[in-house]
Amino acid sequence: TVCVPCFGGPGTGRLRGSVSLRQRPIPRVTFQAGDPYYISKRTREEWLAKWKMEAEKKAQLVSVLNLMEDHEEMEPEPQQKEEVSVITPHQQQQQQQQPTDPASPTVATTPEPVPMAGGDKTSPKTADTEPEYEDGRDFGIGELVWGKLRGFSWWPGRIVSWWMTGRSRAAEGTRWVMWFGDGKFSVVCVEKLLPFSSFSNAFHQPTFIKQPMYKKAIYEVLQVASTRAGKAFLACPESDETDTSKSVDLHNNQMIDWAMTGFQPTGPKGLEPPEGKLKFHVYFTMICSECIGNHLSLEPPEGKRSSYHVYNPSNKTGQVKYICISCGSLNVSREHPLFAGGMCQSCKNCFLECAYQYDDDGYQSYCTICCGGREVLMCGNNNCCRCFCVECVDLLVGPGAAQIAIKEDPWCCYMCEKGQKGVFGLLERHTDWPCRLQHFFANNHDQDFEQPKLYPPVMAEKRQPIRVLSLFDGIATGLLVLKELGIQVERYVASEVCEDSITVGIVRHQGRIMYVGDVRNVTRKHLHEWGPFDLVIGGSPCNDLSIVNPARKGLYEGTGRLFFEFYRLLHEARPKEGDNRPFFWLFENVVAMGVSDKRDISRFLECNPVMIDAKEVTAAHRARYFWGNLPGMNRPLTAMFTDRLDLQDCLEHGRTAKFGKVRTITTRSNSIKQGKDQHFPVFMNEKEDILWCTEMERVFGFPVHYTDVSNMSRLARQRLLGRSWSVPVIRHLFAPLKEYFACV
């Protein structure tokens, strides 16, 4: 097994030291339509890791200086790493410009903490072991409290150590409080704190009704309180709704009734933090989805296990489906598509972005379970491209499981392992995970649109040849498929700027394509001259949309904005009102795009995409989103007897395939190499070899020598193929058009 450290953001595999796919582009301000800039989970984790590392180094320096001064030969105690709630620059700007939310105490003015005495070297104790909050006042670390800040309602929180905040110590008579609901921190005077047992006096019903954040905070703090008190409540039934759903409201009301009656039967005594574990309060940060980390594995004290006892691998009875196995949140929105367990909305969005994101070595960029991780284990199966982070393995499979996996060579991951019936500790693989994964991408849409207009099939004697407008045409895959299906093409107008692509189209289709240049120069007048059109197809460049590109500019900048050229011309090409002739369109782009970009594309096109992976009908993985109104776009993808499903079927005589299928072939030359060891996919004359151009053409479904024109080099031909569509997939989508247009 290859265990690859990913600190700071390098990708998986041997290239991780030199090429990084985890570097994020600089923040940008969006002025067009769409969601504002936000910090993703992965970026937040990277920031947290950096801040924790800086705090740790600072504390270690203080410890060393103290030890040198005291001449004590002893090692400093291990420091517990704490996570810090992130306030993004965009959020800070909003807080400065917008009116303060009356239900969010974390933005109020709080007493400034005492600056850390970085130069104080006289203390005989290390910074991590010095006593804290020993001023003779109440409210120690881990206690649940109510906090009051000027202009806000009493808000539930937890007393935490200054180490957890990543900042300096609180002044005498003050406490660091982590607020439930958003996981942020404030310094609060002890006079402005109440014990949580004063629930009936501090709870504010009007705020609970009006403010969702307050409702979330009450839900989270009562989860912690019920855990400490050993009070069991009926678990929320599985639902696709959020924490404001009826099921969660019912659960919340049950806990509020219990709190109003004095937290019986244990009373206030049952709310105290566990004894004997000074930092056990870290465990309860799992309740807050904004503050948790995938590495938390501390267990609650004996006899006080809540629903989070599922994180103990020795316990086989936990209701994992009620918990997000990616982050531990209770706000489960749906099931995890690969393993038994839930998934919250935030982790769902990360999964949508990262599931088909691959590094240069062909492996997934992030963990299969949590879509994060700073140290990952890569599967040794040559036909598998999945990674699992050490934190998830140790947490769900069992303590020490990651070290055992590291020693195995090759290591077979939990998606490939055939033994144990797919059950590894708490990690239980779905037997029907391929169907669940397909259903996950087919039903992940946040927006509902009206069904596209359905056109009845045209009588055979009334069918006419098709007229096509192809934008970003590439190497004329659309025309090739229409000819293979036997559909008569009256006119094929293509917009393309790549000279090599135009050359291929001219040579292979004998001048039947009318090339019109840059799509930005096509006007309404041109469409009226060339049209009308029956089919509009296109796939704008994905460079600035794919999250694989660390310097991407998004949908509204760079080549990403070319999507709006497709939208503009599609709108102009539509039939006028009252014209009922069949009109179809298709738009394609990568799956590994940001959730907000996908949402905006769907909003403009007024439909949700269909995800199709070419691995079902070709010898290569190639997952793509397709938007359109073609009949039966979401029907199952079925291979034909002429399709080459194995790489061996695509090779020339005397050459042997080392893999059943290759990974996604892109414009980059190293995308041909396979596996963590960067193997060439073919074996010939007792030597490894790359794919020949003719073999790549067979993998994509093109005729042999289709791109062999104009003395183009191998790399130039690979670039053309890497930007093209998969022929069997387009044939699958275009097949229903035979019911509407004349055929040969």
User: Of the residues 542, 607, 650, 693, which is catalytic?
Assistant: 542
Phi/psi of residue 210, each to 5°? -90, -30
Residues 6+ apart with CB under 8 A from 403: none
> Cα(664)–Cα(209) distance, rounded to whole angstroms?
50
Residues 6+ apart with CB under 8 A from 399: 297, 313
Residues 6+ apart with CB under 8 A from 586: 535, 536, 537, 538, 626, 627, 628, 630, 733
Helix (H, G, I), strand (E, B) or coil at 254: helix
Question: Beta partners for 375?
Answer: 5
How does 81-95 read in b/e, with b if 16+ C-beta sit within 10 Å?
Answer: bbbbbbeeeebeeee
Question: Beta partners for 492?
Answer: 468, 513
Is residue 677 within 8 Å of 670, Cβ to Cβ?
A: no
Question: Beta partners for 495?
Answer: 471
Structure tokens given for 314? 């020795």
Helix (H, G, I), strand (E, B) or coil at 42: helix
- As a whole number of Å, the CA-based R_g of the chain is 30
What are the counts of helices (DSSP H) followed by strands (DSSP E) for the chain?
A: 19, 22
> Cα(84)–Cα(167) distance, rounded to whole angstroms?
9
Residue of 590, 583, 513, 581 whose CA lies nearest to 555: 590
**542 among known catalytic residues:** yes
**Cβ neighbour number for residue 646 with a 10 Å cutoff:** 13
SS3 of the chain: helix, strand, coil, percent, to 5: 35, 15, 50
**Cβ neighbour number for residue 311 with a 10 Å cutoff:** 23
Cα-Cα-Cα-Cα torsion 225, 227, 228, 229, nearest 10 degrees, comes to 80
Is residue 591 within 8 Å of 624, Cβ to Cβ?
A: yes
Residue of 90, 78, 101, 70 whose CA lies nearest to 26: 90
Cα-Cα-Cα-Cα torsion 10, 362, 399, 234, nearest 10 degrees, comes to 100
> Cα(11)–Cα(171) distance, rounded to whole angstroms?
42
Q: Tell me the catalytic residues.
A: 542
